[in-house]
Structure 1
Amino acid sequence: MAEFKPQQKNSASKAISPKHFYDEESWKTPTSIQRAWFASGCTTLLISVAKSLIMISRRSTGLRSWIDPVVAAIVGYVLGDLGTGIYHWAIDNYGTARTPVFGSQIEGFLRHHDHPSAITKRHIATNLYVGAAGFTIAVLPMNIFCTNPNLLAFSAAFLGCGMFCQQLHAWSHTPKGKLPRLVVALQDSRVILQRAEHAAHHHPPFDSHYCIVSGVWNRFLDKYKIFWAMEMIFFFIFGVRPRSWSDFNSK
């Protein structure tokens, strides 16, 4: 059976010194393309919300016409947290830096385990442009053709979580005193990912607390070993071990 080689993590860590990793200039000064994708994602999100509100107001026949899209947005937000957990689990445990499309993200997440606070040094456009590009490509056609405000509200919330999750992730690594008061209030109320909630992920073998929007799914997923079960299925079908099984620091 194929077996994951743990050297991949070590090579990613050795490829760059901690000082260089923290002082990476390209993180602090985004390129024009990164800025453009970030602006595009934010604009697409605003258009989606605005179109949904306009359609609701035109069709308004009472409170029910507003309740449905609000519920749809809440459901999208809750499922968005689950989606980031599944994606984070997959990136953390499978693939290499040479994996098509996802390779750079896999390498970045491996480095992040070694230097968790480095993410706080990144410019917001550098941190979010990949998610913003995906959001724009997925949602822009819906903004043009969709006439269902509930679907627009759901997609904006669900896919918007994917776009902004890395910033919520970065805030969970930022000292409380350096965060805006609104962000701290949202963390304390568990609307967005708390620092303590995500800190539980950063212990070898990095096999729990994967969700990075609000973390509301983490307790359920970890208690019932959902990801462990998925890893077992992958192992018995494909013979591939997740990285967390091969971590030399793990029990």
Structure 2
Amino acid sequence: MTDLISPDYHLALYALWVSLQVVAGLLIADFVSGVLHWMQDRYGGPKWPIVGPLVRATIRHHKKPRRMITRSFMQRNAPTFFISALFLAAFAALGWINVMTLTGVIVGAFANEFHNWSHRKPSENGPVITWFQDKGLIIAPLEHARHHRDGKNSHFCAVTGWMNAPLERVRFWRRLEALIRVFAKERPRRDPTVRRRPVFA
């Protein structure tokens, strides 16, 4: 029976399967970028060991978002390269190397670069990057701008931005923070760049 199915059909099924794995990898990279971004923005302190420099960088970035575009390629991306290498090592140890995990690791490694591009003007990005942003294939400036509004406590995903809407719809970050408050007795760090709203009697 399988002999009656054309090679083109098998090729189309294989291409579909690979495409689905690529999309899944992009979704995973976007989600993981959101989790790491959320942790960096909401917890820890500037004087903490190890994570302190990341917290300070977050506060500086929230004060002056476009400052990051003046940093070198390695200054922006070295942390995510290191994290992606850890993920790759874990996937290799578990025997989970496939199109999905490789897509997630490789694209996720450049999460800060996509973030960087979302703070640049089209004239600075050039036509190719701007086209990808306009088509929604990578995070666009308008989508990432949602994170920098108000409390800077939403829309954390910064690779494609695809995960932002569904996560915000189910109040994912708020619910996660509520669980941490209950079980770990920890509250999110107050961002010094966010003005406190006046409380009226």
- How big is the shift at 1:185? 0.2
- Whole-angstrom CA distance in 2 between matches of 1:179 and 1:227: 31
User: Aligned letter for 1:203?
Assistant: R
**1:173-231 C-alpha deviation (Å, 9 max, x unpaired):** 11111112110000000100110111111124211111101111112222221111111
Moved more, 134-143 or 173-182: 134-143
Q: Report the counterpart of residue 119 of structure 2 in structure 1.
A: 173
Closer, same or farther in 2 for the Cα pair 1:123/1:236, shift >3 Å?
Answer: same
Q: Report the counterpart of residue 105 of structure 1 in structure 2.
A: 54
Q: Report the counterpart of residue 6 of structure 2 in structure 1.
A: none
- Whole-angstrom CA distance in 1 between matches of 2:193 and 2:72: 31
- How big is the shift at 1:76? 0.8
Contact conserved, 1:81 with 1:213, CA < 8 A, in 2?
A: yes
State percent identity of aligned pairs: 21
- How big is the shift at 1:162? 2.5
Closer, same or farther in 2 for the Cα pair 1:176/1:136, shift >3 Å?
Answer: same
- How big is the shift at 1:122? 1.4
Q: Which runs of 4+ in 1 moved over 4 A?
A: 140-146, 244-248
Contact conserved, 1:204 with 1:247, CA < 8 A, in 2?
A: no
Q: TM-score, normalised by structure 2?
A: 0.82
* Residue 153 (structure 2) pairs with residue 234 (structure 1): no
- In the TM superposition, what are the counterparts of 1:70-109 in structure 2 within 5 Å? 70-109=19-58
Contact conserved, 2:44 with 2:55, CA < 8 A, in 1?
A: yes
User: Aligned letter for 2:51?
Assistant: F
- How big is the shift at 1:129? 1.6
- Decide which of 141, 144, 148 is 1:202's aligned counterpart: 148
- Whole-angstrom CA distance in 2 between matches of 1:232 and 1:195: 29
- In the TM superposition, what are the counterparts of 1:145-160 in structure 2 within 5 Å? 151-160=97-106
- Whole-angstrom CA distance in 2 between matches of 1:74 and 1:97: 36
- Whole-angstrom CA distance in 2 between matches of 1:96 and 1:245: 10
Q: Report the counterpart of residue 131 of structure 2 in structure 1.
A: 185
What SS class does the counterpart of residue 110 from structure 2 fall into?
A: helix
Contact conserved, 1:193 with 1:214, CA < 8 A, in 2?
A: yes
- How big is the shift at 1:78? 1.1
Closer, same or farther in 2 for the Cα pair 1:234/1:72, shift >3 Å?
Answer: same
Q: Report the counterpart of residue 13 of structure 1 in structure 2.
A: none
* 5+ long unaligned stretches in structure 1: 1-60
- Whole-angstrom CA distance in 1 between matches of 2:66 and 2:166: 27
* Residue 110 (structure 2) pairs with residue 164 (structure 1): yes
Aligned residues: 188
- For the aligned residue pairs, the C-alpha RMSD in angstroms reads 2.5
What SS class does the counterpart of residue 160 from structure 2 fall into?
A: coil
- Whole-angstrom CA distance in 1 between matches of 2:64 and 2:176: 27
